[in-house]
Structure 1
Amino acid sequence: MAYIPMFGVIVAFKNYRYDKGILGSDWIGFKNFEFLFKSETAFRITRNTVLYNLGYMAVTTICALAVAILLNEISKKWLKIYQTSMILPFFLSWVVVSYITNAFLDHQNGFLNGWLAAMGFEKVQWYFNAKYWPFILNIVHLWKAIGFSALVYYAGILGIDAELYEAARIDGAKRWQMVTNITIPQLTPLIIILLILSIGNMFRGDFGLHFFIPNNSGMTYSTTDIIDTYIYRALSEVGDISMASAVGLYQSFVGFVLVVTANYTVRKINDENSLF
């Protein structure tokens, strides 16, 4: 049943009209795809989409893995408090997070500008300077995503055979040696599977993050605009369903190719760590 709605992708190849319906609308082939590929900003938004997702994957994976290892070392008495406080941001909508971000970045009353003024520096108009946003978006994404990712890796750590650590302690291994020689190698299959799944979404940016956090400020488009936000703004004016479907199909197809390619590469290196 999950594949039946996929019939709707035919809209991407038609000049869809409500009065004619999907089957009755005129077939126009790949003309809808020209909306993206002939755009002057196509390279910029494609570059931003790919580079941001690569950055999110790398930063979140490294930081979440480090936090998971630290959670495994702390007292179980405080573990639930840390887990709850860390995963809470994951359940907040991007609209709520945008208000929290604005509390820090607001030009007049923002916490950061207040701190800069107190230190004798000039206030920064964050929403009018594109150069700061690659750092801001990575920090905000990490704050929201690290809790859930860390708990996934922590669950993987709990699944490691405790006898491996006991044997390492008997041999005189230190904590760092156990992390590098037991924990990380044992978590490698989980890390690879999660990375493969993330690669599939590399071409599909986080619309909420890139639209709400910069407040859709036109001054920051050069570093915050991705395929999803660009298409939203363009189609909200044009209102062409066929174009939107074409871009969605393009993103899904590229994502599928990336997943298959990444899984094939992993299988060639180590067949046991591949997803399929």
Structure 2
Amino acid sequence: MIEPWLYPALTATAVVTGFVDAIAGGGGLIMVPVLVFAGLPPHIMLGTNKVQSMCGTAMATYRYRRAGLFRIGSNKALVGAVFAGAAVGALVIQRLDSRILSLAVPLLLMAVALYTIFSPRMDDTDREARIGEGAYYPVGSAIGFYDGFFGPGTGQFFATTLVGLRGFGLTRATGLTKLLNLTSNVASVIIFALGGQVIWLLGLCMALGSIAGGWLGAHSATRFGARLIRPLMITASLALTTKLLWGWFAG
């Protein structure tokens, strides 16, 4: 049973998470501990959080598309690969303990933070791709699987690999990241919903806040570009790393 006061509290929290997610990813760093405090069982927490995340990411995706940062048509195959990976990940997590990833992920996030700090590629300049579009499909599918299975840092992983492997400028990579993150969220919500792991009223209340935050975040990112996205990505990556490592060693 969820206390009534938690509905407006979680909706307000979702505004902040939607804003952070739209720019740099990592909104789960804020929302997941709050949902744990609310007393939701782990799988229901994950499923319900995916509903609000999906809605906030949908608004951010719409805003980035309006800004011309990506086209859906030219990314259909990649969207399909991410969707399949996320669906499999969401199925697997309902049968396994996610702790298997909780030590490896902080190391990956630390690598993301270091790459973002030191790489000259992390700006708005498009560069020559290191791998072709088709070669990125397995990468996108693997990140989608990770999002369905565990989730923290998915936005950072998409953005960093699009910059480092596909040669995208950071703002353009962030735009496409929202489309891919929306795809993995939709797949995850479908699987969690079919498994009865979603509290819909709570998820939809939180979604209202996430939509507002997603619009504000995407508007800010398209206006200020890499000079806003880059420091927030570094901050979110390091904060997620600290949180996950703390969770691991605290048991």
Q: TM-score range by the shorter chain?
A: under 0.3
Task: With the length of structure 2 as denominator, give the TM-score of the two structures.
Answer: 0.28
TM-score (norm 1): 0.26
* Greater relative CO (CA pairs within 8 A, separation 6+): 2
Larger radius of gyration: 1
